[in-house]
Amino acid sequence: MNNGTRRFRKILIANRGEIACRIIWTCKEMGIGTVAVHSDVDRDSLHVRFADESVCIGPAPSAQSYLNIPAIISAAEIFNVDAIHPGYGFLAESAYFAEICEACNIKFIGPRSSVIQLMGEKVEARRAMQNAGVPILPGSPDAITSEEEGIKLAREIGFPVIVKASAGGGGRGMRVVKSEAEVGHALETASMEAAAAFKSGDVYIERFVERPRHIEIQVLADEHGECVYLGERECSIQRRHQKLLEEAPAPMMTPELRQEMGEKAVAACKSIG
Amino acid sequence: MPVGAKQAMSDQENPKPETESTTPTSPSERGQRDRGRRRHRQLPQHLEASINMEELRELIGLITDNALTDFELQREGFHVKVGRNPYPGRTAEAPVLPPVSENAMPSGAGSSAVSGVPMTTPPHPGAHAEEEASEDLGLHIVNSPIVGTFYRSPSPTADPFVRIGSQVKKGQVLCIIEAMKLMNEIESDGDGELVKIYVENGQAVEFGQPLFGIRMQ
């Protein structure tokens, strides 16, 4: 049973590549044992070589290896690790994976599964942020249930608007709508795409910003409720909704704006736990 | 870089005549040195020779080509030990090359010293498949499809599912691999005689790890 104030002896890194290497190096500095997982073709990867121990968890396709939850949990158990660090991507934002770790008494190095769940559902996330005092774009408070509702809301917000999948991510399940006539079709196609990709067809509407700057504030929180902000990254340079380049610090950012955004972000995180 | 190699370079910078080599040549000197170590001299002393980097590379090539895991060679004046990790996934070590002590020597003697020596492969607890890789040609290997703990019997008190020499059929349960408290029965994917078991009861296994060798019929 892991006492909250005792350091981890050994952790498993459920990832590969540069993030796995960085985590392993940090663990070495901290004197924490490391277990790397890899697919059979990644056997000679750098992260495998740097870790103290390693285990092959599946064949090449990610779905059968790095996303293979039973294999990863099984590996964590037989190597007797205290915690799993998911890195970024792969299972890092999977509320389901976090929940399984909790159930198996393995610490998940990340937010609680309930928090991941909340923030992964955009309609819920918007509501939570609004309650925390974070300024959000005007948009529907809930998922859209009919075309009429959609049109009415779009008129209120003012065109152009965008239809977005509530469970969405990675640039999919979104449709820009420039006029009333397009609303119905956009709702339908976005919803279908969302259902196929994210298993939920819920969509909502919000104002569309034509030329936005996409700024992310990095926050760091621990399980004792402490939270800090660590600066921002500008992720505006994208192609087809995939970020190409991130800049830090963001150009055109002022210290005042950074502080304001950072403090709001910390408050928001604390409010959702 | 191994310590031995540095010695070699300094020897080349200051070449010494053969008779003044750093290895003892008189019987009393040798006796004195040998008393301190466990030694088994295999060849006459005039073939006392070390090994240069080229031959070492060749040696390593021979070792990897024949899929040996350990090789140890002791001669007058030098001691070579090469180890290869037979278990991918066990630890993340690259092949280890301990220091090779090296003296200046004529290349002629060197090459004959290497070729005539029998290779020793000390038993490696827990290591399996690769040591006898050459014997496994033609065997159908059943690999683990999951990560877990390998058990030979359905329960601690029961008999093993199969033994060496058992005739197995496709679909027959060969072992159990436990993963997340679930017992997964692993079936044979062919008919034949079970001739090899590569893992031990209670051992942790990874995806793709060889479990059994079957001579297909």
Could you tell me if A73 lies within 8 Å of chain B, comparing CB atoms? yes
Strand B192-197 relative to strand B167-168, pairing: antiparallel
For chain B, strand residue ranges (E) read 70-75, 78-83, 140-143, 148-151, 167-168, 173-179, 182-187, 192-197, 204-205, 210-216
What is the model's pLDDT at position B3?
Answer: 43
Strand A33-39 relative to strand A53-58, pairing: parallel
- The dotted CATH code for B138-216 is 2.40.50.100
Q: Which of A238-252, B2-16, B51-65 has the highest mean pLDDT?
A: A238-252
**Cβ of A49 and B180 within 8 Å?**
no
Strand B78-83 relative to strand B70-75, pairing: antiparallel
A50 contacts on B by Cβ (under 8 Å) = 92
* CB hemisphere CA count around B53 (13 angstroms): 9
What sign results for the dihedral spanned by CA atoms A37, A114, A103, A1? positive
Based on the domain organization, do A104 and A125 belong to the same domain? no
Could you tell me if A48 lies within 8 Å of chain B, comparing CB atoms? yes
CA distance B20 to chain A (A): 44
What is the model's pLDDT at position B35?
Answer: 55
Based on the domain organization, do A186 and A249 belong to the same domain? no
Quickly list H helices, B23-106: 27-35, 53-65
CATH number reported for the structural domain that contains residue A48 in this entry? 3.40.50.20
Which residue does chain A place closest to B179, by CA atoms?
A74
Q: What CA–CA distance (Å, rounded) separates B53 from B57?
A: 6
Based on the domain organization, do A221 and A239 belong to the same domain? yes
What is the model's pLDDT at position B87?
Answer: 52
3-state secondary structure chain A: CCCCCCCCCEEEECCCHHHHHHHHHHHHHHCCEEEEEEEHHHCCCHHHHHCCEEEEEECCCHHHCCCCHHHHHHHHHHCCCCEEECCCCCCCCCHHHHHHHHHCCCEECCCCHHHHHHHHCHHHHHHHHHHCCCCCCCECCCCCCCHHHHHHHHHHHCCCEEEEECCCCCCCCEEEECCHHHHHHHHHHHHHHHHHHHCCCCEEEEECCCCCCCEEEEEEECCCCCEEEEEEEEEEEEECCEEEEEECCCCCCCHHHHHHHHHHHHHHHHHHC
Q: Are A82 and A240 in contact (CB under 8 A)?
A: no
Task: Choose the final residue of a domain: A118, A140, A167.
Answer: A118
Based on the domain organization, do A19 and A103 belong to the same domain? yes
Which of helix, strand or coil describes residue B110?
A: helix
Could you tell me if B146 lies within 8 Å of chain A, comparing CB atoms? yes
Task: Specify if A83 maps to a domain.
Answer: yes
Which residue does chain A place closest to B180, by CA atoms?
A74
CA distance A111 to chain B (A): 23
Task: Specify if A1 maps to a domain.
Answer: no
CA-atom Rg of chain B in angstroms: 24
Token output for B61? 């090539």
Which residue does chain B place closest to A75, by CA atoms?
B147
Give the residue, B36 or A206, on which the prediction is more confident. A206
What is the model's pLDDT at position B101?
Answer: 41
Q: What CA–CA distance (Å, rounded) separates A234 from A150?
A: 32
Q: Residue A174 pLDDT > 80, yes or no?
A: yes
Mean pLDDT of A5-13: 89
What is the model's pLDDT at position A14?
Answer: 97
What sign results for the dihedral spanned by CA atoms B76, B77, B78, B79? positive
Strand A161-165 relative to strand A203-207, pairing: antiparallel
Please name the member of B91, B149, B208 whose beta carbon is closest to the beta carbon of A78.
B149
Q: Residue B1 pLDDT > 50, yes or no?
A: no
Confidence of residue B62 (pLDDT cuts 50, 70, 90): confident
The answer for residues whose C-beta is within 8 angstroms of residue A115's C-beta and 6 or more apart is: A272, A273
Could you tell me if B92 lies within 8 Å of chain A, comparing CB atoms? yes
**Cβ of A74 and B207 within 8 Å?**
no
Q: Which of A58-67, B11-20, B86-95 has the highest mean pLDDT?
A: A58-67
Q: Residue B95 pLDDT > 60, yes or no?
A: no
Token output for A45? 């990867």
Domain containing A220 equals 215-272
Confidence of residue A145 (pLDDT cuts 50, 70, 90): confident
Which of helix, strand or coil describes residue B153?
A: coil
Could you tell me if A40 lies within 8 Å of chain B, comparing CB atoms? yes
CA distance B74 to chain A (A): 30
Please name the member of A40, A50, A74 whose beta carbon is closest to the beta carbon of B146.
A74
Task: Specify if A2 maps to a domain.
Answer: no
What is the model's pLDDT at position B50?
Answer: 58
Could you tell me if B144 lies within 8 Å of chain A, comparing CB atoms? no
Please name the member of A53, A56, A75 whose beta carbon is closest to the beta carbon of B91.
A53
Based on the domain organization, do A170 and A140 belong to the same domain? yes
Best A74, A104, A105, A106 member to test B by mutation, with max B CBs in 10 Å, is A74
Task: Specify if A69 maps to a domain.
Answer: yes
CATH number reported for the structural domain that contains residue A131 in this entry? 3.30.1490.20
Based on the domain organization, do A94 and A161 belong to the same domain? no
Task: Specify if A199 maps to a domain.
Answer: yes
Neighbours of B126 (CB within 10 A): 10
Q: Which residues pair with B186 in a beta bridge?
A: B175
Task: Specify if A84 maps to a domain.
Answer: yes
Count of CB contacts below 8 A, A vs B?
59
Q: B187 burial class (0-12, 13-18, 19+ CB within 10 angstroms)?
A: middle
Token output for A67? 């996303």
Of A44-53, A172-181, B16-25, the one with minimum mean pLDDT is B16-25
Could you tell me if A74 lies within 8 Å of chain B, comparing CB atoms? yes
Best B143, B182, B205, B206 member to test A by mutation, with max A CBs in 10 Å, is B206
Task: Specify if A66 maps to a domain.
Answer: yes
Compute CA A17 distance to the chain's CA centroid, rounded to the nearest angstrom: 18
Token output for B35? 């008393």
Between CA A272 and CA A239, with CA A261 as vertex, the angle to 5 degrees is: 95
In terms of Cα–Cα distance, which of B91, B186, B173 is closest to B146? B186
Q: Residue B170 pLDDT > 80, yes or no?
A: yes
Q: What CA–CA distance (Å, rounded) separates A136 from A133?
A: 9
Between CA B1 and CA A14, with CA A38 as vertex, the angle to 5 degrees is: 110
Percent of chain B with pLDDT over 90: 33
Q: What CA–CA distance (Å, rounded) separates A48 from A39?
A: 10
Could you tell me if B207 lies within 8 Å of chain A, comparing CB atoms? yes
Could you tell me if A17 lies within 8 Å of chain B, comparing CB atoms? no
Task: Choose the final residue of a domain: A67, A99, A118.
Answer: A118
Based on the domain organization, do A136 and A233 belong to the same domain? no
The answer for residues whose C-beta is within 8 angstroms of residue A257's C-beta and 6 or more apart is: none
pTM: 0.67
Q: State the total domains in chain A.
A: 3
Based on the domain organization, do A198 and A125 belong to the same domain? yes
B149 contacts on A by Cβ (under 8 Å) = 78
DSSP state letter for B88: T
Task: Choose the final residue of a domain: A68, A89, A118.
Answer: A118
Q: How is chain B split into domains, by residue range?
A: 3-115, 138-216
Q: Residue A33 pLDDT > 80, yes or no?
A: yes
Based on the domain organization, do A39 and A138 belong to the same domain? no
What is the model's pLDDT at position A41?
Answer: 95
Which residue does chain B place closest to A37, by CA atoms?
B89
Based on the domain organization, do A241 and A186 belong to the same domain? no
**Cβ of A74 and B179 within 8 Å?**
yes
Q: Residue B161 pLDDT > 90, yes or no?
A: yes
What is the model's pLDDT at position B133?
Answer: 55
Q: Residue B64 pLDDT > 70, yes or no?
A: yes
Based on the domain organization, do A83 and A55 belong to the same domain? yes
